[in-house]
Amino acid sequence: MSYPQPDPAGDEPLAREATALLQSLVRARTVNPPGDEAVVQQALAHHLQQAGFHVQLLEAVPGRPNLIAELGTPDHHHPGEPVDGKILTLLSHVDTVLADAGDWRRDPWGAEVVDGELWGRGAIDMKSQTAAEIAAGVGLARKGWRPRSGLLRIIVCVDEEVGGTLGARWLCEQHPALVRSDYVINEGGGAQLHVGDSRHYSIGVGEKGVCRFAVRARGRAAHASTPGVGDNALLHLVPVLERLRDSELPIDLTDAPRRLLEGLGLLTPERSADDAVLLLRERAPSLAPLIEPMLRVTAVPTMASASSKINVIPASAELRVDCRIPPGMTVDVARERVASLLEGLDVEVEFTETIPGNGSPPSGPVYEAIDAWLGANDPDAGASVPTILPGFTDSRWFRATFPDCQAYGFFPHRHMPLTQTYPLMHAADERIDLRDLHFATRAYRDLIRTLLG
């Protein structure tokens, strides 16, 4: 597979368009709740329509429309019509988490450009990707490009930040024929990982699941003024907390994490997975906490309850634990890990909420096209590596609804590494290096052509 050499001068109109789009997206407040995405969605719909896309706005509730834009082959096409060839969906969401202007150094909705960085809520998560995907699609459409076969779809969802009930989930469950996709490119990858002297791009291939549980201890109530009379259930949880603090669950390498550690040069035939993790901590101390959750089950106590009165020794106490499991691992394995961690303690464990992880293979046409693009456009970078998100994105609804769908997280950051972008997400001073926005826009333009002809 070969790509034309990057041509910064020829790409300038594309870059300008992506910047302008991102500025207008950031300036529109779409904090969810309540979301208020309608104005943005209508403007994007108009923009895409003008360029030749067929556009539909579909809403689960008034004022929260999802956008589906399609560009078919020259002889094509009506929405919902069978498609000859592969359907490539560029997916994003335009709602954001809130921003407290008092915590920011610049206006979170100002979209100011300072020293080459565009500031504002959504600059990374993920209006930048919406802007880049649309600029890429519109740029091609205006030049008269159409897929040789298949279909290009751009889907912009609402409501992702609170779980997608009115957005991707609703589209997949209620309108599967309109959003069925063979390939999806979404958020959740493309970050740059610096390990020692080498740097690697991530390609997001999966998301961890959750396997949350409660730990309960029993005792005997008494007045708190006479502790020797009762048996304090809360104190029975102390050894549970100590184990959760002190013991790490074992490294459990599924396919993608194994390839991740190998690609980063950490796992070799001579080196064990445990030693590979020690080496990661040594070579990339600030990156390691972001990588390690991909490699194992995590169990983090977050809530506790016991007596409802300050002067009563509790007869029962409960701890809630947010436990997450890598995709490809069965829930039974996670339960075994938890059981062995808490072995011998006088407590009962109840699993309260289980959602398996989800993923796509670290291979196949989209994965390989991304990998090849990176090789051609940043040849000095090390091997690209598959990564897993510790949380969820809208990709999971597509993977669940369309079992053959291959979905990947990819927005390549050439200039800001993950250790810089990660702390800005959902936090103050979110901003993006405009060179990264333009790099990603070119990536989408080229990937569309590679995958659809």
Binding to Zn ion in span 180-209, by CB under 5 A:
187
Q: Could you tell me the smallest distance in angstroms from the CB atom of residue 33 to Zn ion?
A: 15
Beta strands in 112-158 (DSSP E): 113-114, 117-119, 151-157
Nearer to Zn ion, 206 or 382 (CB): 206
- 295, with CB counted inside 10 A (0-12, 13-18, 19+), is buried
Q: Which of 421-430 are b and which e, b meaning 16 or more Cβ less than 10 Å from the residue's Cβ? A: bbebeeebbb
User: 7 in helix, strand or coil?
Assistant: coil
Binding to Zn ion in span 333-362, by CB under 5 A:
none
Q: Could you tell me the smallest distance in angstroms from the CB atom of residue 23 to Zn ion?
A: 19
Q: State how far the Cα of 123 lies from the Cα of 432, in Å rounded to an integer.
A: 6
Q: Could you tell me the smallest distance in angstroms from the CB atom of residue 160 to Zn ion?
A: 6
Q: Could you tell me the smallest distance in angstroms from the CB atom of residue 244 to Zn ion?
A: 29
Q: State how far the Cα of 193 lies from the Cα of 406, in Å rounded to an integer.
A: 23
Nearer to Zn ion, 333 or 427 (CB): 427
Binding to Zn ion in span 75-134, by CB under 5 A:
125-126
Q: Could you tell me the smallest distance in angstroms from the CB atom of residue 17 to Zn ion?
A: 22
Q: Could you tell me the smallest distance in angstroms from the CB atom of residue 101 to Zn ion?
A: 21
Going by DSSP bridges, is the β-strand pair 316-325/298-305 parallel, antiparallel, or unpaired? antiparallel
Nearer to Zn ion, 73 or 186 (CB): 186
Binding-site size for Zn ion (CB under 5 A) equals: 3
* Helices and strands, counts by H and E, the chain: 15, 19
Binding to Zn ion in span 310-329, by CB under 5 A:
none
Within 8 A by CB and 6+ apart from 5, the residues are none
Nearer to Zn ion, 186 or 254 (CB): 186
Question: Looking at 21-29, 84-92, 179-187, 256-264, which segment touches Zn ion (CB under 5 A)?
Answer: 179-187
Q: Could you tell me the smallest distance in angstroms from the CB atom of residue 122 to Zn ion?
A: 9
Nearer to Zn ion, 165 or 198 (CB): 165
| Tokens read off for 409 | 């997280």
Q: State how far the Cα of 373 lies from the Cα of 369, in Å rounded to an integer.
A: 6
Nearer to Zn ion, 188 or 263 (CB): 188
Nearer to Zn ion, 145 or 392 (CB): 392
Nearer to Zn ion, 168 or 370 (CB): 168
| Tokens read off for 134 | 């649309």
Q: Could you tell me the smallest distance in angstroms from the CB atom of residue 30 to Zn ion?
A: 12
Nearer to Zn ion, 125 or 436 (CB): 125
H or E element, residue 401: helix 395-401
* Distance (Å) of CA 270 to CA 225, 280, 352: 60, 16, 40
Question: Binding of Zn ion at residue 157 (CB under 5 A)?
Answer: no
Within 8 A by CB and 6+ apart from 12, the residues are none
DSSP letters, 336-398, are: HHHHHHTTT-S-EEEEEEEE--EE--S-SHHHHHHHHHHHHH-TTS---EEEEESS--THHHH
Q: Could you tell me the smallest distance in angstroms from the CB atom of residue 91 to Zn ion?
A: 10
Report the interface residues with Zn ion, using CB under 5 A.
Answer: 125-126, 187
